[in-house]
């Protein structure tokens, strides 16, 4: 289980003159600080999938980076199965599997070597790494290119390998930042099936996406962030109930209502 309560994060604007007109109009800009995340709260229980939604620039990626310990929040708390992520970041990282939108692979290493390297960083034994790579190759359809250098991988190959290295240590919570962006239909379906498998194992999964059909297929809960604040956080049924037509209208209704 992961519990997020009133997270906040601001950044110093080094050169305000370089801000675009749109950035100048953003209400989160206060003096020399941009309050990317002002107040975000939600929770995801064991065996649940939570879809994190919001317009571009809403604060989703900043939020996920704070959950992963990559960023230190200015306020708020994150607790994973009783472990405070902010107070004990090293212990929390052992419990987390995190895929960011910008995560890369070491191009000169094969897919297998990339995954094994991250397994060693988590202190896994070589036999355990080998067995886990075989398991993940089956689940993510990696066998065909597992022993090729990753610099020659397609987008889909890279993303599936990135997911494998993020979960090689069997994390207790998995966080994925737009995991299917840029993937073809077959690769995206493999990733979605993998998320379904995590759900069956009781692993909480949080993933950000702009694809509402993925939310409809996978999610138990939905959280909508806009301008750095939680606008909605409830069950998928409650989210669907915001509109009589579609999830797109539910999303737009949430944003418009709060605006």
**Residue of 209, 174, 169, 201 lying closest to 52 (CA atoms):** 209
Asked whether residue 102 carries a pLDDT value surpassing 80, the answer given is: no
Q: Taking residues 11-34, report their average pLDDT.
A: 84
Asked whether residue 101 carries a pLDDT value surpassing 80, the answer given is: no
Task: List the chain domain ranges.
Answer: 2-103+172-258
List, in sequence order, every residue forming a beta bridge with 180; answer none if it has no partner: none
Location of structure tokens 């996978």: 218
The set of residues, in sequence order, having a beta carbon less than 8 Å from that of 137 and lying 6+ positions away, is 143, 146, 164
Local confidence band at 258 (pLDDT 50, 70, 90 cut-offs): low
- By the 8 A CB rule, do 137 and 144 touch? no
Options 3.40.50.300, 3.40.1400.10, 3.40.50.880, 3.90.209.20; which CATH number does 2-103+172-258 get? 3.40.50.300
- Is the alpha carbon torsion for 226, 231, 235, 237 positive or negative? negative
> How far apart are the C-alpha atoms of 228 and 152, rounded to whole Å?
37
| pLDDT number for residue 16 | 78
> How far apart are the C-alpha atoms of 103 and 115, rounded to whole Å?
13
């Amino acid at each position: 289980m992961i519990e997020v309560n009133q997270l906040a994060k601001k950044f110093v604007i080094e050169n305000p003159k370089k801000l675009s007109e749109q950035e100048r109009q953003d209400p989160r800009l206060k003096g020399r600080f941009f309050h990317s995340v002002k107040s975000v709260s939600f929770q995801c229980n064991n065996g649940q999938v939570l879809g994190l939604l919001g317009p571009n620039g809403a604060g989703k990626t900043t939020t996920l980076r704070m959950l992963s310990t990559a960023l230190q929040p200015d306020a708020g708390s994150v607790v994973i199965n009783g472990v405070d992520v902010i107070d004990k970041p090293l212990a929390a990282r052992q419990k987390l599997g995190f895929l960011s939108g910008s995560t890369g692979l070491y191009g000169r290493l094969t897919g297998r070597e990339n995954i094994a390297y991250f397994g060693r960083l988590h202190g896994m034994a070589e036999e355990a790494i080998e067995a886990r790579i075989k398991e993940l190759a089956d689940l993510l359809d990696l066998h065909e290119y597992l022993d090729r250098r990753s610099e020659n991988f397609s987008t889909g190959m890279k993303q599936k390998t990135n997911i494998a290295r993020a979960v090689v240590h069997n994390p207790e919570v998995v966080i994925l930042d737009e995991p299917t962006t840029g993937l073809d239909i077959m690769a995206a379906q493999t990733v979605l099936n993998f998320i379904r498998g995590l759900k069956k194992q009781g692993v909480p999964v949080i993933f950000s996406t702009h694809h509402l059909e993925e939310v409809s297929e996978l999610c138990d809960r939905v959280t909508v962030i806009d301008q750095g604040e939680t606008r909605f956080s409830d069950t998928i049924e409650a989210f669907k109930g915001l509109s009589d037509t579609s999830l797109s209208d539910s999303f737009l209704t949430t944003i418009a209502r709060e605006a």
